[in-house]
Chain A
Amino acid sequence: MERNTMAYKSKQFLMFAGPALILFCMVIIIPFIYGLFLTFTSWDGVSAEKPFVGFANYVSAFKDAYFWSAIGRTIIYSAFAVVFVNVVAFLLAYMVTSGVKGQNFFRAGFFIPNLIGGIVLGYVWKFVFNRAFVAIGEAISGGTVPSLLSTTGGAMFCLILVSVWQYAGYMMLIYVAGFMSVSDSLKEAAMIDGCTPSQAMRNVTIPLMRTSFTTCIFLSITRCFVVYDVNLSLTKGEPFFSSVMAAMHVYNKAFTYKDYGTGQAEALILFIVCAIIGITQVYVSKKGEVEA
């Protein structure tokens, strides 16, 4: 059989990539294009008619102060969460690969938060913040203590804390894989050449596991940017919209306030912001990767 004909190649391609391609088109590409079309209509979500309005939705999206403050808040939240998630995950990974007793137990333990769904996790922590911490605070101070979740800065702090707790275990696994992929002989060679352990870490191990950093930072950025479940169950955007993240605002705009077109336009803007940040990050960190 000829193996370099076009027909053969496309048949091979379709056989292996075809099913995935069809599914991808059906659940991602087509809805995306349809969504793009909806941003040019003033559809309310139920009506059979979808009147065409041109760029009006984009104009109102750009004028929507709540949307932009939600984007700003998301950026702040993501910045903190990404840094802390990765620092914590890296330290945990270092700890559970350094040969401490029961390290497999710790690995499993740190990973478990990631197995709890975001909604459940939000409610659990809501209880902790609203009841447990308040009770402890009141026992210590003797007076009434407001819950962290009822203060504007506090709600954001809680969101970041819970996100770090949730994602750190997952990222830890990737870092663990990174640590294990660096062969001991290289570290040994560095030590023989006179490196202190911290120098070996900084100059040998970390550069060699840069792919892990790329992956982890990419995953945490994209996840934080579109956070919704924890946001919904933990703070619901309260108090006074001070913890409404971009995704939540978009959902509310489209479905709760029934401004479907504008909501869809805002979703598209959010997608573009996300894509730009994600691609830039991957591009920058790929450039610095080292082949072992």
Chain B
Amino acid sequence: MKKKLKRTVALLTVLAMSVLLLAGCGGSSGGEEAPSGNTNGITVFNSKMEIQDQLLQMAEKYEAETGVHVEVYYSSDTVSAHMATRYASNNPYTLSMVDAKDIYSLAEEHAIPLDDEEWVKDTGYAISIGGHVYGFPVCVEARGIIYNADAIKKVTGKDFDPEQYKTLTAWKGLIEELKKGGMESPTGVMKEDWSLGAHYLAQVYEEQDDPDAFLMDLSAGKVKLMENEKFNSLMDTFDVLMENNYAKASAISAEREISEKKLAEGEIAFMFGGNWDWSQINQFDYTENMGMMPVPQDLDDGMNEMLVGGGSKYFFIDNSSNTSEEQRQQAKDFLNWLIYNENGQSFLVNDCALVPAFSNIELPISDPLGASVSKYTNAGKLIPNYNYMPDDHYAILGAMFQKYLAGISDREGFAKDVETYWHTKTLTSHSE
């Protein structure tokens, strides 16, 4: 009898423990992490690391102001990979901030159309697919050459006017002058594959008359890059950047932080980058007068007067049954608040230092790189981003570009690498 009791107790303990174990498993995946399902407020996914703190603070203020609870999430995963996980576990965010290419791959299946929203008329950067607006542009970002005008003035003694250095010839002259004046290596080159592959190389496509047609031809083997004007002109400029790189001896182990620091403190004067670099530069003891200018090229079609860029990071609203109608409405209200409410505008421009994508926002931009971008944007001098790049483009061609940067391959070899890559792709036209 006693033995039996003991056994029963043991059995019960084992059972209880295994149930607990299972409950523990279920709990961690379904409990605290589950943002949706509760109709009380909305969940927002942020994929812009540098504004996470600001977003968290804003969420508190927003709740105090409107009574709507906003829960902000961030992940350092690749955006598309993170979205995949959330959708695979049936646990999407009400409002997700993703990259443009993710809108194209996700929106038709997972987003609600936003055609009737008031803001559609105030922006030229919203993303539409099949005649419906799906993506709300968070900000405008552009790339070009970042300069440190104070560093230049210190050597040349003259105020730096980027307008005068549109051509490679003029710019090269300035670099020589800087070198003579004691700045040994006036440029920095970021070795990151996204900077080389997704940004610098992409400009070769984006400067073509019709990027889509150009890439189709490239993939069909009809383009010889070595004979292409834009490729050669951009590579000529890159050669100058590379030649005067402060980290020339070990170009592919140059660390981004160090390059940004040198630029911020005026040890170097130029670096290819974008206004997102401000979030790094402002960590250092930066000098006052910095800005962005187009990549200097010996061209006469006006491309050397333009930055490359457009909308960056897009919000979309989930259409699944995990999100209630009420939440969707709250998400729409939130987007409207961002661009029509004074506090929302100030949040975007002052707190996050973003360049807004909406023409109704007239607040002055606080960071110098953003101010440059905003100047070019308002003047209509922006070459649009090409948003349909294959997903492995930046990694594979970025690596090939690094080979060029390291001096392992030459221009001809690099051109061949690019051509070979595109030959393996079958493309469909994206003309809208």
| Residues of A that sit less than 8 Å from B by CB | 15-16, 18-19, 22-23, 26, 44-48, 130, 134, 144-147, 149-150, 238-241, 252, 255-260
Contacts and interface: CB of A to CB of B under 8 A. Distances in A.
Given A46-B83, A147-B250, A257 B18 contact: no
A146 B109 contact: no
B209 interface: no
A240 B17 contact: no
Interface string B376-413: 00000000000000111001100110110010100000
Interface of B: 11, 14, 17-18, 21-22, 25, 78, 80-81, 83-84, 87-88, 105-106, 109-110, 193, 249-250, 252-253, 255, 390-392, 395-396, 399-400, 402-403, 406, 408
Nearest to B80: A258
A150 B391 contact: no
Contacts of A238: 193, 252, 399, 402
Given A47-B109, A238-B402, A240-B402, A256 B18 contact: no
B11 A15 contact: yes
Nearest to B247: A144
19 contacts: A15-B11, A19-B21, A23-B21, A44-B105, A46-B84, A46-B87, A46-B88, A46-B105, A46-B110, A145-B250, A146-B250, A147-B253, A239-B406, A240-B399, A256-B81, A256-B391, A256-B395, A257-B391, A260-B84
Contacts of A23: 21-22, 25
A214 B253 CA distance: 40
Given A150-B252, A240-B400, A19 B17 contact: yes
Contacts of A15: 11, 14
A240 B403 contact: yes
Which of A22, A144, A150, A252 is packed against the most chain B CB atoms within 10 Å? A150
B250 A22 contact: no
A46 B80 CA distance: 8
B32 to A, nearest CB: 19
A156 B182 CA distance: 39
A245 to B, nearest CB: 15
Given A19-B21, A46-B87, A46-B110, A146 B395 contact: no
A131 to B, nearest CB: 9
A44 B80 CA distance: 10
A15 B390 CA distance: 52
Contact of B78 (A22, A144, A255): A255
B106 A46 contact: yes
Contacts of B253: 130, 146-147, 149-150
B87 A257 contact: no
Contacts of A260: 84
A291 B282 CA distance: 67
A126 B154 CA distance: 35
B18 A239 contact: no
A61 to B, nearest CB: 15
Contacts of B396: 241
A18 B15 CA distance: 10
Pairs A-B, 4 closest by C-beta atoms: A19-B18, A45-B84, A150-B253, A257-B392
